[in-house]
Structure 1
């Protein structure tokens, strides 16, 4: 009993402190816009931390550590490349988001260009995706608690942690979500090195011996990454991650609307694209040391091996780390889903054009509560984490990538289309993706999402130029704000070059 008391105490203190941080950051009287995106006065470092905390969910620990162990360096580097491309691309897009800085969701941005029907489709699909993401995080909480503490029912702590994040995310708004994200990200970055230290000590070897041992295995050699042509499985995996690099998570775009200017968006996402590889490399080190300790483990035995003989303090650190990751991802998704429902779905259904309408803030809070409870119910239906990810989350992610990303990227780059143009592109993209999965992928083992993305974009261009369009549609130039930003960037580059020459 004493063995578990330390772990329980650590986790209890973390959850209580998280609740207190969230409640202290809550403002009693705020407008809907403040509830949704704040007052746009967040510090750049704060935005970097909350964005990273939203990206790195608990599934990264539970789901990817076994994959790193099993597939080696190719899997790790492919995943890193995917993340870097995605957030470097968002950094570039940020400079052109000036016309959309007053929006509250990606659905509103798409709706402002393509009309209410594409906006409704994007909002509904995004809400479904975010509900499943929250459910995945709850499932991860339950799994790690069950593995670390078998003396109590894991559902007790899972429900407690879920209710805590629902409370501060629902009633505190974006400020409470942001402050708790920073706190959870700090705890995560402190705990991960401690876990790496424990797994390293468990190998019983020096760092040099570990390195030499890994070099004896082909899948952990750096040269293995470049053996794409000779390995169809590696080629398919790389294409899969390159395709998913174009997936734009709605909570991440929601973070962009919290920024004060396009330049701040560019800086934040640029920093994120540089920090994420470091985080993933630290997490992959756990897999590497587990492989050194026992290179013959099946995937299901990896976590039991890590937890075997783990002292209570380290188990507490592991649970706090995973809980922090899951809660910081879940709260952002809950908040974004509530904003999309009250701001996009309800507004379109009621046909209200002015913003905000009566009870919009109340509807957003009720939606956050309902979304959290619905995610808990979904978790009870899909008790297996891998089944939930593969059967529900992955198809929704593919649909989001195919349907949402092309029209959003085109809109940010200056394309202005009609509802018909967007709907033709969305329908074409999803048909091509489904057709590829049913008839092509089984034959050549290549991922089909990239072709769905291209089909969406090309179909939109074809519909725009083949169909009769009203005046004002098509490509537009930079607005005055975007031109000033480009001039500032060029001036800064010239100034920096002059300093280097001196």
Structure 2
């Protein structure tokens, strides 16, 4: 074996280890609940790790590096602030999820408040969302392999990697997904620290020299944050739009929590760690810019990988594979729940579906959707084209149609089916109109306002149209009031200890 084959051997060993760990975590599910959300006795740290592994996919690293390089301090500020805000909102949602903690998915929560048709829409759009995310991550795996192991066709490794995660996701359910997420998450800080080291060595400058050079670069000067222009507005609206991308697999971790308090703790800690990871990604991009401020965006990764020893290339491709695989398996698992639970119950109109049939359908769904996502990557081998297609046709519709009614429901709004459908239709029309006419005319992204239109249309429909007597806003229930009292008491106790 030549030294050049070391990365391939390292990747194959990692894939074999992932398969062994995933199958080791397989446990026969005696109920569909156990397959979907486990025993709801996961340790808080375990849930934090699996949320981080799911949210921090390879696509995030591949996408944000060039964005920060291109937009500078504006993108860094909005990236950190908007993501912290989004994840904090999820922690608030988790705290108020008491009435819905027995559910399996976001679609079931939508259905419990708004009825069957919104539930079906939410499930179908969640499935489309998952296909888009899985296709992007598979493309990231192929791209990472192609960059680091140039001697082989990337598909030789990408296809087995995808089949491996499909296998353990099918048979192990949420337990296997969680265990492999822990393994895969270990590689995330390793890859980020390695990239920082490589780029820092490449530019051959001290931290003080880097800081002085950054101050001289107009793109990264803090004073630019307060210079309002059309470019700044575009970056802000895009960041705000992505800030409402509440991934179904991430929301799924709320239902895996033992209760609202644990869900609240999980996402508070997740918010802190994710901001640190994003800060490290921003540092990498800044260092690359200091090293060469004239690079085209497509040359950023070749610049990082130039002159790196094969063993380190193997570490990098393993890290990117792990980041992508941890997102893919969670997305496939969530989509399988939507099909076997939400779609089936909505069509049959009953809740008592045999768990054996549900499990079989969930496993078949995992297989079919995984293979379908692989097919999508064949037609869209370019990552940026695939991302644009997925965002436009698969992911955006879920965000526009599902997120506003879900947030309203969690915060106490109880609307009718008609109210929800009016909001979904309004948000979708505003999105189509903005994509077709407004954005090309003014050059400013208008998609975020489709979310606002959905929520406002639902509230307007509720108050302008006749509604059943049981619909409207609900206050905090007794459980939520007790939790708020316990949190206040705990904070006072903690503060008194600190004063002593």
Q: Is the 8 A contact 2:29 2:35 kept in 1?
A: no
User: In 2, Cα distance between the equivalents of 1:24 and 1:358?
Assistant: 22
Match of 2:169 in 1: 169
1:179 aligned residue: 179
Separation in 2 of the partners of 1:28 and 1:357?
A: 12
| 1:5 matched to 2:5 | yes
Kept in 2: contact 1:195–1:317 (CA 8 A): no
Say yes or no: does 1:338 pair with 2:336. Answer: yes
Q: Name the residue aligned to 2:372.
A: 374
Pick which of 253-262 and 288-297 moved more. 288-297
CA RMSD of aligned residues (A): 1.5
Q: Distance in 2 between matches of 1:449 and 1:484?
A: 39
Residues 22-421 of structure 1: pairs in structure 2 closer than 5 A? 22-227=22-227, 229=228, 231-356=229-354, 358-421=356-419
Q: Which runs of 4+ in 1 moved over 4 A?
A: 355-358
Which secondary structure state, in structure 2, belongs to the residue aligned with residue 104 of structure 1? coil
Q: CA deviation at 1:222?
A: 2.4
Asked whether the 8 Å contact 1:263–1:485 carries over to 2, the reply is yes
For the residues of structure 2 that align with 1:9 and 1:384, how far apart are their CA atoms?
26
Shift of residue 233, structure 1, vs aligned partner = 1.0
CA deviation profile, 1:187-225 (whole Å, cap 9, x unmatched):
221232122111111112222222222221111222222
Distance in 2, Cα, partners of 1:356 & 1:214: 62
Task: Single out whichever of 407-416 and 432-441 deviates more from structure 2.
Answer: 432-441
**Counterpart position of 1:485:** 483
Cα distance between partner residues in 2 of 1:237 and 1:394: 18
Give the 3 Å change call, closer, same or farther, for CA 394–273 of structure 1 in structure 2: farther
Report the counterpart of residue 460 of structure 2 in structure 1.
462
Deviation at 1:244, TM superposition (A): 2.6
> C-alpha distance in 2, partners of 1:274/1:395?
31
Once residues 29 and 339 of structure 1 are traced to their aligned partners in structure 2, the CA distance between those partners, rounded to angstroms, is 14
May I ask how many residue pairs the two structures share in their alignment?
A: 500
d(CA) in 1 for partners of 2:27, 2:414: 38
Deviation (angstroms), 1:395: 4.1
The separation in 2 between residues aligned to 1:486 and 1:287, in whole angstroms, is: 41
Q: How far 1:352 moved relative to its partner?
A: 2.4
After TM superposition, give the deviation of residue 29 of structure 1 in Å: 4.1
Shift of 1:357: 5.1
SS in structure 1 at match of 2:256: coil
Is the Cα contact below 8 Å between 1:218 and 1:224 reproduced in 2?
yes
Task: Kindly state the Cα deviation for residue 393 of structure 1 after the two structures are TM-superposed.
Answer: 2.6
1:358, distance to aligned residue in structure 2 (A): 4.9
Normalised TM-score (structure 2)? 0.97
Per-residue CA deviation, residues 314-349 of structure 1 (Å, 9 max, x unaligned), is 101110110010000000000000010100112212
CA distance in 1, matches of 2:158, 2:481: 50
Q: Aligned equivalents of 2:30 and 2:224: distance in 1?
A: 54
| C-alpha contact 2:54 2:330 (8 A) present in aligned 1 | yes
- Displacement, 1:355? 5.0
Shift of 1:501: 4.8
CA contact (8 A) 2:40 2:256 kept: yes
State how 1:434-453 maps to structure 2 within 5 Å.
Answer: 434-453=432-451
SS in 2 for 1:90: helix
- Separation (CA, whole Å) in 2 of partners of 1:353 and 1:213: 63
Segments of structure 2 that go 5 or more residues without pairing to the other structure are none
Q: In 2, Cα distance between the equivalents of 1:306 and 1:256?
A: 37
